[in-house]
């Protein structure tokens, strides 16, 4: 029986979704239409010529995809005949036609996902003409070129403005002039650092239909797609609701990917029994949920989000049994939620009952024993054990902590909760499973592997927090499923697009995909209203900055929603650089295995490999397998008929030896005297280990890709309020300060890091320091009003013209970014506002924390953010709840200082005999600019006065008044105000 995913006969709608259109007789092989796009799918070939700008932006390399065609249309077939180093290789004359290509695809488009100038693609694969799995799409030149020109024009205006400001000193207030000019110079410098990497944004197109044809068609139900191991990390079930974690796991298990090639690993940092049993319940419910999603093509595949959809759930559903199946699954899901919510109480009652039984038995033995034994029994304290459902002791954290059973002191745990039975689909029957009357006939019932992992923790051993947990999962998965690709998700990042994994495979398995270290997906947030007051969606960063980096060396790793190449995490160099050096073939033999492990490296012997990766021979054997399975199609020799076997590990049944080895590699002492955390895996010693890990890969020469499917790949499930947003901003800013002040500063990066990529990483380390100048600049308007001075001597026409030019150019740049990135005006403005809110609160504290850590070596601990499970009556109930945090003191003080300054200035000018409105208007407009940027913060404080301690407003008001009086006392104006130091303040 053919599996459902093959779909040999397709309707026109299905042809659009799969990306494989019908092939007419006149064209044996037609270029496929894209299934999902990353934005614009148009290309303009006119009016753009090669210039010095192209050379600078690409680091001196001439990419054909960056060159325009000067208004001429070139037939692609002729171009391939003329070019010896054609990107796609030479093909038969009848295979391609320029008119059959996707609309807008010109002859100079870049195909593939890497540096296309380095080597030629294969001419034919399996006797078929080469068809790429992905393609770069240039943003139209009529949009991008004016944007670049305006950027450089604004840079010129800013430089001229600074030159004018430096040459025109305000002699009446030199200190005010110097402070303002210093801030302006820093703002211009950081703006240039942020803007330069954005000058070369690109879009990408994937062809999922071609991927299916290459790896799944004509294989009798067996897939040759490479394996994927999904890592999900959770810390505390009290802070991170179990229902949210369970929905994330269910969405991963139900993703549209072969069950035998997909494995999900959950890392439980607290090793609680309630999390383990919740995952066991999840694995049980997945046996119904996963086939249901496959049968009816459910989107999204998180049951909580699917059953909570407000739109019509019956849209595009044609099977007559869908209503009945959905009703039954909804009932089962409700039962599943009830069981999940009852687990804490169930475990407590079970443990109490079994502990009571043990106490009775201990008392009976006590009465039967002689006197000496009774004394020994009395000296022993009976532990309050936490019991599993099979009446055995839980190896992790107990409800009543005891020795070897606390959150920071427990054994390592690896439990396989679900596993596929084989490499071929296991179709169900009409009766279904578990007595359910769901017809699963012809539907694959296999559930991907689900593994619960908790790393061993002991006193005296550093667990290295999230990075340590990820490295433990990396080793455990290597000896169990050994997927050559690793997808990292947070506990609340559920799969919104079931095709997301195939999207990433289109890049990884494409020509030159072997040089790609990771695929980064954007972070998309649900539960935020349309206003998005605190820029929680952060669309400017994910739609503008990350797409700009995609045109350089690739986006940065942001900590989640990222798929890695396993060997890149192991610290190996990309193949394009290995070709430049002579390889040494190292044989690492296991004592009980005759098969050698061949690894290309400069390391001279087995002892060095053991020192690098640890003493697990099974892990060492997995390295070559993972490398071979991850090789893209370009590694298949043309015309040889040889195919890489991509099911070496995924097709094997799990053995007890693998599980024992997995427990060994997650032990607390395994990493001692190895390179884990320093050159292998996630990097240790950094608060933002994600940024540093991605930086290390880019520094070795790897590239990365930014994938923005038409339908979001992943989404967050929980809303975020201002307090949590500020603490997250503090986390990221502190990590950035550590990067800049530490050895991972991009200034010291190697020559393989692209120049613009280096600037981007440098900006990541520098941006928190902008808060120092931002706080000073936010106080300058109030100080200027109090002292009756301004940053310039007079508001002349030149100064106003510069301000107008700078403001208008910024607005036009924002409009152009909206044009090619898809962000809205509201997204852009909210991003500007939170730049001020975060800069005057979290970022300034982050600088102090980073300096303290640099001097003292003391790490700053951050508690995990509490996420709502959205079971409240009001879905957005917690969105604008203002919970007090000390980070709010400084922005409140700045707001109140500017409000007091405006009041004082206007009142003083009204009672003044000789009016001087010019300087006052300049200072008031400046203060209003500050207050407008802080308006979302002020609005919530006013609306939620009861949530913020009254002492905060009193203290901030006193500070504002003190600053005002102190400023006037130090530098009074000759005709403005008189300060009576006895305590009275008189206007003239």
Annotated binding site for UDP-alpha-D-glucose: 233, 240, 269, 465
Residue of 778, 691, 697 lying closest to 740 (CA atoms): 691
487, containing H or E segment: strand 485-490
Taking the C-alpha atoms of residue 442 and residue 14, their distance in angstroms, rounded to an integer, is 19
Taking the C-alpha atoms of residue 464 and residue 860, their distance in angstroms, rounded to an integer, is 13
The residue behind tokens 């500050």 is 930
Q: Which two tokens stand for residue 389?
A: 């459902």
The 8-class DSSP code of residue 860 comes to P
Q: Which residues contact 281 (CB under 8 A, 6 or more apart)?
A: 246, 336, 339, 340, 343
Binding residues for Mn(2+): 466, 490
563 by DSSP, 3-state: which?
Answer: strand
| Active site residue ranges | 269, 690
**Residue 816 class from Cβ within 10 Å (0-12 exposed, 13-18 middle, 19+ buried)?**
middle
Binding residues: 233, 240, 269, 465-466, 490
Q: Which residues contact 321 (CB under 8 A, 6 or more apart)?
A: 439
Q: Which two tokens stand for residue 247?
A: 């929905």
Instruction: Check if the beta carbon of residue 192 is closer than 8 Å to that of residue 770.
Output: no
Question: Strand ranges (DSSP E) for 874-972?
Answer: none
Ramachandran assignment for 652, one of left (phi > 0), alpha (psi -120 to 50 degrees), beta (any other): beta
Instruction: Check if the beta carbon of residue 133 is closer than 8 Å to that of residue 507.
Output: yes
* Strand duo 36-37 + 202-206: pairing: antiparallel
- Cis omega (within 30 of 0) on the bond before 300? yes
Q: Which residues contact 278 (CB under 8 A, 6 or more apart)?
A: 237, 242, 245, 246, 340, 343
**Cβ density class 856-881: b for 16+ within 10 Å, e for less:** eeeebeeeebebbbbeeeeeeebbbe
Residue 774: half-sphere exposure toward Cβ, Cα within 13 Å:
25
Instruction: Check if the beta carbon of residue 292 is closer than 8 Å to that of residue 438.
Output: yes
Taking the C-alpha atoms of residue 356 and residue 582, their distance in angstroms, rounded to an integer, is 68
Residue of 820, 698, 813, 805 lying closest to 759 (CA atoms): 698
Count of CB atoms within 10 A of residue 320's CB?
7
CA 754 remoteness from chain centre: 21
Taking the C-alpha atoms of residue 927 and residue 897, their distance in angstroms, rounded to an integer, is 9
Taking the C-alpha atoms of residue 131 and residue 208, their distance in angstroms, rounded to an integer, is 12
The residue behind tokens 């003191």 is 889
857 by DSSP, 3-state: which?
Answer: coil
Instruction: Check if the beta carbon of residue 535 is closer than 8 Å to that of residue 512.
Output: no
Taking the C-alpha atoms of residue 405 and residue 409, their distance in angstroms, rounded to an integer, is 6
CA distances from 77 to 106, 107, 116, 222, 734 (A): 12, 9, 18, 35, 54
The 8-class DSSP code of residue 671 comes to T
For 884, phi then psi, to 5°, come to: -60, 135
Taking the C-alpha atoms of residue 893 and residue 271, their distance in angstroms, rounded to an integer, is 43
Residue of 311, 234, 334 lying closest to 274 (CA atoms): 234
Sign of CA dihedral 894, 900, 901, 906: positive
As a whole number of Å, the CA-based R_g of the chain is 31
89 by DSSP, 3-state: which?
Answer: coil
232 by DSSP, 3-state: which?
Answer: strand
Beta bridge partners of 704: 518
């Amino acid at each position: 029986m053919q599996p459902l995913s093959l779909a040999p006969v397709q309707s026109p709608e299905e042809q659009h979704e799969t990306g494989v259109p019908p092939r007419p007789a006149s064209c044996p092989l037609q270029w496929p239409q894209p299934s999902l796009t990353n934005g614009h799918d148009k290309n303009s070939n006119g009016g753009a010529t090669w210039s010095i700008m192209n050379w600078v932006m690409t680091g001196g390399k001439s990419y054909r995809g960056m060159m325009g065609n000067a208004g001429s249309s070139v037939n692609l077939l002729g171009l391939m005949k003329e070019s010896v180093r054609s990107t796609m290789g030479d093909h038969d004359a009848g295979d391609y036609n320029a008119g059959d290509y996707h609309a807008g695809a010109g002859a100079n488009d870049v195909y593939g996902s890497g540096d296309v100038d380095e080597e030629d693609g294969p001419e034919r694969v399996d006797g078929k003409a080469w068809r790429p799995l992905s393609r770069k799409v240039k943003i139209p030149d009529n949009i991008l070129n004016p944007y670049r020109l305006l950027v450089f024009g604004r840079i010129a205006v800013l430089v001229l403005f600074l030159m004018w400001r430096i040459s025109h000193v305000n002699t009446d207030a030199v200190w005010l002039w110097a402070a303002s000019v210093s801030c302006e110079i820093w703002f211009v410098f950081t703006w240039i650092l942020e803007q330069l990497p954005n000058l070369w944004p690109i879009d990408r197109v994937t062809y999922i239909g071609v991927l299916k044809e290459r790896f799944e068609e004509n294989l009798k139900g067996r897939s040759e797609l490479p394996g994927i191991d999904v890592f999900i990390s959770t810390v505390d079930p009290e802070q991170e609701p179990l229902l949210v974690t369970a929905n994330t796991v269910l969405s991963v298990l139900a993703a549209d990917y072969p069950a035998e090639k997909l494995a999900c690993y959950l890392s439980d940092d607290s090793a609680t029994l309630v999390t383990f049993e919740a995952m066991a319940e999840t694995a049980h419910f997945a046996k119904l949920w996963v086939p249901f999603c496959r049968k009816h093509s459910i989107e999204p595949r998180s049951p909580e989000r699917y059953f909570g959809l407000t739109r019509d759930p019956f849209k595009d559903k044609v099977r007559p049994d869908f209503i009945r199946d959905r009703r039954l699954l909804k009932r089962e899901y409700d039962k599943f939620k009830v069981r999940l919510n009852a687990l804490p109480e169930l475990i407590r009652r079970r443990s109490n009952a079994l502990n009571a039984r043990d106490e009775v038995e201990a008392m009976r033995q006590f009465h039967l024993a002689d006197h000496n034994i009774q004394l020994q029994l009395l000296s022993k304290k009976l532990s309050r054990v936490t019991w599993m459902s099979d009446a055995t002791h839980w190896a992790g954290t107990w409800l009543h902590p005891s020795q070897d059973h606390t959150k920071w002191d427990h054994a390592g745990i690896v439990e396989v909760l679900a596993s596929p039975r084989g490499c071929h689909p296991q179709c169900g029957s009409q009766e279904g499973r578990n007595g359910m009357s769901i017809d699963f006939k012809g539907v694959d019932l296999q559930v991907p592997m689900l593994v619960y992992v908790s790393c061993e923790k002991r006193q005296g051993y550093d667990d290295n927090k999230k990075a340590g947990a990820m490295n433990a999962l990396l080793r455990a998965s290597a000896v169990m499923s050994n997927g050559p690709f690793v997808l990292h998700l947070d506990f609340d990042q559920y799969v919104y697009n079931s095709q997301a994994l195939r999207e990433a495979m289109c890049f990884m398995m494409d020509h030159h995909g072997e040089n790609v270290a990771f695929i980064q997906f954007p972070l998309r947030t649900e539960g935020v209203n349309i206003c998005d007051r605190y820029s929680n969606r952060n669309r400017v960063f994910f739609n503008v900055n990350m797409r700009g980096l995609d045109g350089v060396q690739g986006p940065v790793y942001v900590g989640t929603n990222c798929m890695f190449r396993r060997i890149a995490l192991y610290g190996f160099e990309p193949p394009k650089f290995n070709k430049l050096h002579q390889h040494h073939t190292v044989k690492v033999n296991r004592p009980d295995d005759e098969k050698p492990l061949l690894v290309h490296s400069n390391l001279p012997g087995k002892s060095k490999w053991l020192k690098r990766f640890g003493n697990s021979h099974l892990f060492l054997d997995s390295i070559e397998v993972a490398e071979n399975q991850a090789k893209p199609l370009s590694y298949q020799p043309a015309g040889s008929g040889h195919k890489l076997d991509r099911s070496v590990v995924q097709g094997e049944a799990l053995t007890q030896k693998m599980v024992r080895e997995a427990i060994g590699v997650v032990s607390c002492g395994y990493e001692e005297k190895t390179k884990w955390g320093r050159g292998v895996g996630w990097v240790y010693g950094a608060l933002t280990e994600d940024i540093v890990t991605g930086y290390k890969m880019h520094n070795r020469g790897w590239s990365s890709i930014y994938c923005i499917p038409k339908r979001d790949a992943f989404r967050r499930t929980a809303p975020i309020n201002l307090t949590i947003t500020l603490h997250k901003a503090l986390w990221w800013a502190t990590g950035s300060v550590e990067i800049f002040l530490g050895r991972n500063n991009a200034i010291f990066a190697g020559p393989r890091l692209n120049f613009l990529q280096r600037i981007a990483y440098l900006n990541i380390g520098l941006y928190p320091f902008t808060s120092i100048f931002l706080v000073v600049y936010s106080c300058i308007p109030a100080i200027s009003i109090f002292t009756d001075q301004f940053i310039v001597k007079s508001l002349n026409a030149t100064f106003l013209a510069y301000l107008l030019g700078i403001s208008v150019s910024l607005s036009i740049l924002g409009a152009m970014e909206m044009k090619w990135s898809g962000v809205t005006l509201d997204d852009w403005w909210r991003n500007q506002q939170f730049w001020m809110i975060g800069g005057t609160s979290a970022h300034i504290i982050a600088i102090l924390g980073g300096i303290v850590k640099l001097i003292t070596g003391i790490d700053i601990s951050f508690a995990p953010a509490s996420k709502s499970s959205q079971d409240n009556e009001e879905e957005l109930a917690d969105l604008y709840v203002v919970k007090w945090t000390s980070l709010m003191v400084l922005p409140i003080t700045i707001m109140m200082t500017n409000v007091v300054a405006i009041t004082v200035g206007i009142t003083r000018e009204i009672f003044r005999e000789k009016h001087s409105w010019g300087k006052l208007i300049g200072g008031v407009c400046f203060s209003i600019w500050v207050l407008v940027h802080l308006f979302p913060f002020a609005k919530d404080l006013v609306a939620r006065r009861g949530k913020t301690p009254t002492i905060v407003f009193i203290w901030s008001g006193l500070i504002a008044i003190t600053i005002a009086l102190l400023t006037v006392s130090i530098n009074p104006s000759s005709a403005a105000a008189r300060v009576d130091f006895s305590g009275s303040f008189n206007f003239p």
